Chains A and B, each alone.
Chain A
């Protein structure tokens, strides 16, 4: 249904464009004056008045139709509080019968009646939908065509409309972010209604299993997220131990030593590292690095588990090298040449110049790059899901299994559980913590980078 309505709208905007164009030419010829704008702008004006009201109708139908029909159908039924037979199941059954009459066997009369009501309501809605789209397009075109006079500044109006469209597009991302934040906050509040926030933030026992049925003998769940934060931190530290020196030294080489030719080849190659899907890093960590870490651990007498913080952290470190090297390279490059000349002019050699002049000057930017890399590392999911394990160990030993915030969110959401118990809701609380941490890191990093830029440009 919605496909053919898109075709309808396409035909509408095409003909409105042609109509607007020929109409303004006709009108200006009739009046014997030249129109204020080019004919195309008048055509676009008609087009917009045709298109946008139609789109609004289209989307509101898409959003509300099903909901309204369901409400009408369901209003015939009465529900008893606490009955096992709830609205969702009933609706699913009605929809099944309506879509496939062979399911009607053995169903109660009420359901069969409701199903036929459901089908007929859908048919009515469909006809009404097409009619209203056609009418609204005609009305839009009619309104616009009244303005098709040579003295009308179509171009100014079009430019204003385009500005509205641009504002709308840019606000989509912002409002989505705000929506995500609010959904995180509200779902987290539901979680904290059942689990105290102090237990969540400060208790060291993470055992997110709760009895599903009344009277089940499973242990009470406990939701102390400290081991999870500790695991995240441990993996992040390992990753930064790998990425910070490698990334920074790479950046120094690229910015200060490499010739133009080498730079042109190496920099894009490094940036490819950032483009590898993280799940690929994940199985590389699990298949190649983790066994190596285990073997290495055994050779020095440490009992390493098959998945470990070290394996995940090392691979994650490789993953974030390009963030650090690429950003640091940019900052080092933007240290003014005059400082290098000043240092060389006194007789400093290259190493002294880099150590004592360039790096101190670039330090704020480099710190910014590190913080961005850290926030990327703690938000990373797939590598740790595959290679770090899921056991909430409170340990500082990188050879052991650990788990991270992102892994626990995945674990909490796997399986078809409803969002009505602390186990699944814990995902939102963890997500909120993660969001707050990365948000702060990003803000700090951007502030540092900004302050640095102000100083040298």
Chain B
């Protein structure tokens, strides 16, 4: 049994006066893929964005409760958000490479965090990150071309490389394949499976097949509440809750 990496306890989220999450408590294990599933607007992305305090960017969003990462409380005004985010990488729904070269996109994180002392070191990190993201062979001859010139799937892998370049422990993925075609999706899913060996991954997905394929644990959200969480195999074959049963068999959502 692996250790727990993220421990959420009674997390409430409000957008203005509207409550979006109701007392979410959840235990996310180290070096596993945890999938968050549920119909649109159920709060799964909101919960994901609590883990790296991304909701801070939304003025009207209020988060309360407790989330501990490596036993350290992060829902607190004294949390160092910058170092938290360097420990937790994030990949977004739509590939969002910066309007810079492929090399600079990956080098961005290590540079701002002062992780490197020399140009060689930086090059090494960039190359190894691109390799880990399975992109290096495709782009090694054109590292100076803009990141936006790549295809959608390549852009998404570039964003993954950018996230792992700062050597995080956790990677959050917010529907990383929803803007991609099936082939690019398959490549990313394969990549997630490899990354699991070194990183704790939390992935939000609309596709139940994807959740079943890539994750070890699955959590089902509905109307801002966590309905059921457990081993992926169990959730998809023999869920405890009838709502989960209805959702995975396609009766709503």
Residues of A in contact with B (beta carbons under 8 Å apart): 259-260, 336, 338-349, 352, 356-357, 360-361, 455
Contacts and interface: CB of A to CB of B under 8 A. Distances in A.
Contacts of A338: 92, 94, 96
A157 B112 CA distance: 67
Contact of B99 (A344, A348, A361): A361
B108 A347 contact: no
Interface stretch (B13-21, B81-89, B184-192, B234-242): B81-89
Given A260-B59, A340-B57, A347 B112 contact: yes
Interface string B175-190: 0000000000000000
Nearest to A355: B112
Contacts of B97: 342
Contacts of B85: 344-347
Contacts of B92: 338, 341-342, 345
A343 B98 contact: yes
B57 A356 contact: no
B100 interface: yes
Given A357-B98, A360-B99, A342 B159 contact: yes
Contact of A343 (B52, B83, B86, B108): B108
Q: A-B pairs with the 6 shortest C-beta distances?
A: A347-B86, A347-B85, A345-B90, A338-B96, A346-B109, A342-B96
A425 B92 CA distance: 64
B178 to A, nearest CB: 13
Interface of B: 52, 54, 57, 59, 82-87, 89-90, 92, 94, 96-100, 108-109, 112-113, 148, 159, 162-163, 166
Nearest to A351: B112
A349 B59 CA distance: 17
B86 to A, nearest CB: 4
Contacts of B54: 341, 344-345
A348 B165 CA distance: 13
Given A338-B92, A338-B96, A360-B99, A346 B52 contact: no
28 contacts: A260-B59, A338-B94, A338-B96, A339-B96, A339-B99, A341-B54, A342-B92, A342-B97, A342-B98, A342-B159, A342-B162, A343-B98, A344-B57, A344-B85, A345-B54, A346-B90, A346-B108, A346-B112, A346-B166, A347-B82, A347-B85, A347-B109, A348-B112, A352-B112, A356-B98, A356-B108, A360-B99, A361-B98
Nearest to A353: B112
Contacts of A341: 54, 57, 90, 92, 96
Contacts of B52: 345
Nearest to A346: B109
A260 B113 CA distance: 31
A346 B57 contact: no
A158 B245 CA distance: 63
A176 B59 CA distance: 50
A104 to B, nearest CB: 81
A352 B113 CA distance: 10
A406 B22 CA distance: 67
B89 A345 contact: yes
Given A345-B92, A346-B86, A347-B84, 10 more contacts: A338-B92, A338-B94, A341-B54, A341-B90, A342-B96, A342-B97, A345-B85, A347-B82, A356-B98, A360-B98
Contacts of A348: 82, 108-109, 112
Contacts of A339: 96, 98-99
Contacts of A342: 92, 96-98, 159, 162
A336 B100 CA distance: 15
A326 to B, nearest CB: 22
Contacts of B148: 455
Contact of A346 (B99, B100, B163): B163
A341 B93 CA distance: 11
B123 to A, nearest CB: 18
A346 to B, nearest CB: 4
A242 to B, nearest CB: 29
A360 B57 contact: no
Contacts of A357: 98, 108
A207 to B, nearest CB: 52
A259 B57 contact: no
A171 B61 CA distance: 51
A338 to B, nearest CB: 4
B158 to A, nearest CB: 11
Contacts of B86: 346-347
B147 to A, nearest CB: 11
Most buried by B among A338, A340, A342: A342
Contacts of B162: 342, 346
Most buried by A among B84, B89, B98, B100: B98
B93 to A, nearest CB: 8
Contacts of B163: 345-346
A339 B98 CA distance: 6
Nearest to B98: A357
Given A259-B59, A347-B83, A356 B96 contact: no
Contacts of A347: 82-87, 109, 112-113, 166
A222 B109 CA distance: 62
A352 B85 CA distance: 14
Contacts of B83: 347
B100 A360 contact: yes
A265 to B, nearest CB: 17
A360 B54 CA distance: 23
Contacts of A340: 57
